[in-house]
């Protein structure tokens, strides 16, 4: 047996050991119970959190301390500390992937919101916040009945760099600005910085002198993952467990790191998960410079967990160290606090005995872990008597949450094509429908990865039947792989009889998921043949509905006049069937936009392991994402149609910005290069007063059609002249606004030149180019001159 397979089997065994489900109890176990265990200093809520954390550490033996270094922590009876499971999942609703969650109890299901890539297509910050806040209410309710933990490992904010990535569906897409905005909203909503109570009013978590006394209390803990440059599962001979992501300083600065920096600095995330892969030759969980940058430069205050068994892979799979003890020592000293898995649990004592790890290294990790648990109120006594103690089964799968899931699905649906305004369908004029496709009558696969048990799922077929009773269904293909044409005859028979035909095609988790990347961007199996066959036989042009998170090359359908309309629904969650029907029949005007580029099949010739974002013509490399890609597109980033059309009018934006009053004194005297030539850029750290440069772009959006609806305004910028590696354009702001038919709506987008108009140079330094910057709103352009 090869070393590769031995390592793989080892990891599978470790995963099986880790994934032991929790047993639900009517109430969660908690420390500091009276009368026997509530007199310890760590139970004293009047003391600072740091004091309480140090107190708890001081009372533990070395063996008990080591027991804390696994996600599945065993109890310490003598101190009254119950067992605790750190690993729970909440990517787009409470998921059953982690052992911290069980649906076997008084709460049998939870609201299933659209997958993250679909939510991202809404380009709506308030929606993202509201969804996260709703998930948090359900999570805390499940904790109160012993069916969940308090620490959840979401969101996934890696950049959707390559269209083949199986987990791109879990992310907010390819743009670092959008991923950053999503990270901030999700973490703030989930951690409860502003908890919305039953009346819908914002309620700030208490800061009454108890606990830390500085407003650090948490409703729940969110975790930004996977840090960093993680965006490949398995491609060719490359695996996420051993892949070395070679990333240059420029790409690291302006693509891979911004979402994590924002998640920490603005979102105030309390957890960071380091990834399996190496970054420039060093395992991410052992990269001290990387992990300490989060703490020292970004102000991270929380705990750092490894991805599951990522500590084990350092020795067992990557062969980076000579022993398990060396791997444990590396990650602890680098700043990793806890291991999802059992590797640190089993090898830390030996590492200490061999002098590779000191007890102080363990204490440092425990301080970070206990500090987060204390902020969560875990040591404040009975949680059912706390400010979230009344949450329970009545707060899960509520009508409000299900309505929010429906609204999120509506907003995320993207209309890709609509020839001759075929959509919306006439509610009163359609006598019969035929719907074809294996996912059209299946609710179990519309959630995507990291899905739990949905409350009230509705299939696409059921949604359409609420509008047209005479709706026929045929699978066409047995499943999404569609390896046979056996079902074509039945599909043809109903297609020839129906007035309108809808084909549901695309992807599911058999094609893209964790540990599985795609090798092709084409529709799987005979799906294209099914679509073309039905298009030939149907009376009128058909409607194509696409599922899945990853981009597809459907150039044939875009060009085929027999296919009138194309809708992308991704993984729309439990309300997807209803949302799609409402869009198709005009009760909701689609306004979603693609958060990722849809590439042609030829892109698959580009090595997936090439992490470079910028194009390089010398080696025929076209670059990646809309910011740098120079090749052909099926659909571009931000593409999305509506049943109406919109025009813009620029109301207000400056023509010129002067930096002289905003620069550091020494910089003003150094704006000439050697030889007397003027600089054409400034380093951002030379601009002392960035706040004084901020401005708003005010825009009027005119709805020129018969239907009201929401519209996403997207503001881009382009630097004034050529700079090495400058983006083709970059998104600097977006707003989703509601527009009434034949009326205009005004909106404003804030612009911070130091942040939005700057770029990274080849050394990874942020610079602000001088000269004319071009602001772009669709075809509308406006120049802003930045000068010294």
Q: Which of 231, 307, 517, 560 is catalytic?
A: 307
Dist CA 655 CA 733 (whole Å): 18
Render the burial of 712-751: b for 16+ CB within 10 Å, e for the rest.
Answer: bbbbbbbbbeebebbbeebbbbbbbbebeeeebbebbbeb
Nearest to 380 by CA among 738, 28, 775, 142: 28
Cis peptide before 270 (omega within 30 of 0): no
Q: Which two tokens stand for residue 99?
A: 């052992």
Dist CA 193 CA 205 (whole Å): 6
Q: Count of alpha carbons within 13 Å of 757, Cβ hemisphere only?
A: 29
- The question of whether 307 is a catalytic residue gets the answer yes
Cβ atoms 403, 127 nearer than 8 A: no
Dist CA 399 CA 407 (whole Å): 12
Bridge partner list, 748? 698
Dist CA 159 CA 165 (whole Å): 10
Dist CA 397 CA 374 (whole Å): 29
**SS3 per residue for 92-107:** CCCECCCCCCCCCCCC
Cβ atoms 552, 523 nearer than 8 A: yes
User: Which runs of E-coded beta strand occur in 526-616?
Assistant: 542-547, 563-570
Strand order in the sheet with 759-760: 681-683, 766-769, 759-760
Q: Considering all CA atoms of the chain, what is the largest pairwise distance in Å, rounded to the nearest integer? A: 80
All residues at 6 or more sequence positions from 656 whose CB lies less than 8 Å from its CB, including other chains = 784, 785, 786, 787
Q: For residue 63, count CB atoms less than 10 angstroms from its CB and return exposed for 0-12, middle for 13-18, buried for 19 or more.
A: exposed
Dist CA 367 CA 301 (whole Å): 11
Bridge partner list, 570? 547
Dist CA 434 CA 440 (whole Å): 11
Dist CA 699 CA 744 (whole Å): 10
Dist CA 216 CA 377 (whole Å): 11
Bridge partner list, 786? 657, 771
Beta-sheet pairing, 271-274 with 766-769:
unpaired
Q: How far is CA 577 from CA 354, 399, 508, 563, 582, in A?
A: 59, 17, 16, 21, 9
User: Catalytic residue positions?
Assistant: 307
């Amino acid at each position: 047996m090869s070393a590769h397979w031995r390592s793989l089997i080892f990891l599978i065994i470790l995963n099986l050991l880790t994934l032991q489900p929790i047993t639900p109890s009517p109430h969660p176990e908690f420390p500091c119970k009276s009368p026997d265990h509530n007199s310890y200093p760590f139970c004293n809520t009047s003391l600072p959190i740091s004091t309480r954390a140090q107190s708890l550490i001081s009372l533990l033996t070395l063996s008990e301390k080591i027991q804390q270094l696994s996600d599945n922590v065993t109890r310490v009876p003598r101190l009254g500390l119950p067992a605790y499971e750190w690993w729970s999942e909440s990517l787009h609703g409470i998921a059953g992937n982690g052992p911290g969650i069980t649906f076997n109890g008084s709460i049998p299901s939870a609201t299933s919101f659209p997958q993250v890539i679909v939510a991202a297509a809404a380009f709506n910050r308030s929606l993202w916040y509201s969804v996260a806040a709703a998930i948090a209410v359900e999570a805390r309710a499940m904790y109160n009945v012993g069916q969940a933990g308090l620490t959840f490992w979401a969101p996934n904010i890696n950049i959707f760099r390559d269209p083949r990535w199986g987990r791109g569906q879990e992310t907010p897409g390819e743009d670092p600005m959008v991923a950053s905005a999503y990270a901030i909203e999700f973490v703030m909503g989930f951690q409860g910085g502003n908890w919305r109570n039953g009346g819908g009013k914002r309620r700030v978590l208490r800061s009454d002198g108890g606990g830390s006394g500085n407003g650090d209390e948490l409703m729940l803990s969110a975790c930004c993952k996977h840090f960093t440059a993680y965006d490949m599962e398995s491609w060719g001979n490359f695996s996420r467990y051993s892949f070395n992501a070679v990333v240059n300083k420029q790409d690291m600065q302006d693509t891979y790191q911004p979402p994590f920096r924002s998640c920490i600095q603005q979102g105030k995330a309390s957890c960071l998960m380091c990834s399996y892969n190496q970054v420039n030759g060093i395992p991410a969980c052992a990269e001290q410079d990387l992990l300490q940058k989060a703490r020292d430069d970004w102000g991270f205050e929380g705990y750092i967990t490894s991805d599951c068994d990522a500590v084990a892979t350092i020795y067992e799979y990557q062969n980076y160290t000579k022993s398990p003890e060396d791997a444990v020592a590396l990650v602890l000293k680098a700043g990793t606090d806890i291991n999802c898995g059992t590797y640190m649990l089993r090898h830390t004592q030996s590492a200490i005995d061999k002098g590779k790890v000191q007890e102080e290294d363990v204490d440092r990790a425990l301080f970070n872990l206990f500090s987060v648990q204390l902020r969560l109120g875990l040591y404040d006594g009975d949680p059912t008597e706390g400010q979230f103690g009344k949450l329970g089964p009545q707060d899960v799968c509520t009508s409000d949450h299900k309505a929010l899931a429906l609204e999120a699905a509506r907003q995320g649906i993207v209309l890709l094509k609509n020839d001759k305004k075929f959509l919306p369908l006439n509610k009163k004029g359609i006598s019969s429908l035929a719907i074809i496709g294996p996912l059209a009558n299946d609710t179990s696969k519309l959630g995507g990865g990291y899905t739990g048990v949905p409350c009230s799922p509705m299939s696409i077929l059921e949604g359409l039947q609420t509008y047209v009773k005479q709706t026929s269904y045929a699978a066409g293909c047995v499943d999404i792989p569609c390896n046979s044409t056996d079902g074509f005859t039945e599909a043809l028979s109903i297609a020839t009889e129906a007035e309108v035909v809808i084909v549901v095609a695309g992807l599911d988790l058999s094609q893209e998921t964790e540990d599985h990347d795609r090798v092709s961007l084409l529709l799987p199996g005979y799906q294209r043949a099914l679509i073309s066959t039905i298009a030939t036989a149907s009376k009128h042009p058909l409607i194509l509905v696409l599922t899945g998170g990853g981009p597809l090359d459907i150039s044939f359908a875009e060009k085929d006049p027999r296919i009138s309309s194309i809708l992308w629904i991704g993984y729309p969650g439990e309300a997807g069937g209803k949302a799609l029907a409402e869009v198709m029949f005009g009760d909701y005007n689609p306004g979603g936009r693609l958060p990722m580029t849809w590439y042609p099949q030829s892109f698959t010739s580009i090595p997936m392991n090439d992490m470079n974002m910028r194009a390089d013509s010398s080696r025929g490399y076209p670059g990646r994402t809309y910011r740098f890609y120079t090749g052909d597109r099926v659909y571009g980033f931000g593409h999305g149609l509506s049943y109406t059309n919109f025009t813009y009018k620029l109301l207000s934006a400056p023509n010129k910005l002067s930096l002289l009053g905003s620069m550091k004194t020494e910089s003003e005297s150094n704006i000439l290069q050697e030889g007397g030539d003027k600089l054409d850029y400034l380093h951002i750290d030379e601009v002392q007063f960035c706040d004084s440069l901020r401005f708003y772009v005010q825009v009027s959006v005119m709805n020129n059609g018969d239907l009201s609806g929401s519209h996403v305004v997207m503001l881009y910028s382009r630097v004034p002249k050529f700079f090495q590696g400058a983006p083709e354009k970059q998104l600097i702001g977006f707003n989703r606004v509601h527009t009434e038919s034949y009326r205009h709506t005004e909106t404003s987008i804030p612009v911070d030149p130091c942040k939005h108009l700057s770029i990274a140079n080849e050394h990874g330094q942020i610079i602000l180019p001088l000269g004319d910057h071009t602001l772009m709103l669709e075809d509308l352009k406006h120049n802003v001159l930045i000068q010294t």
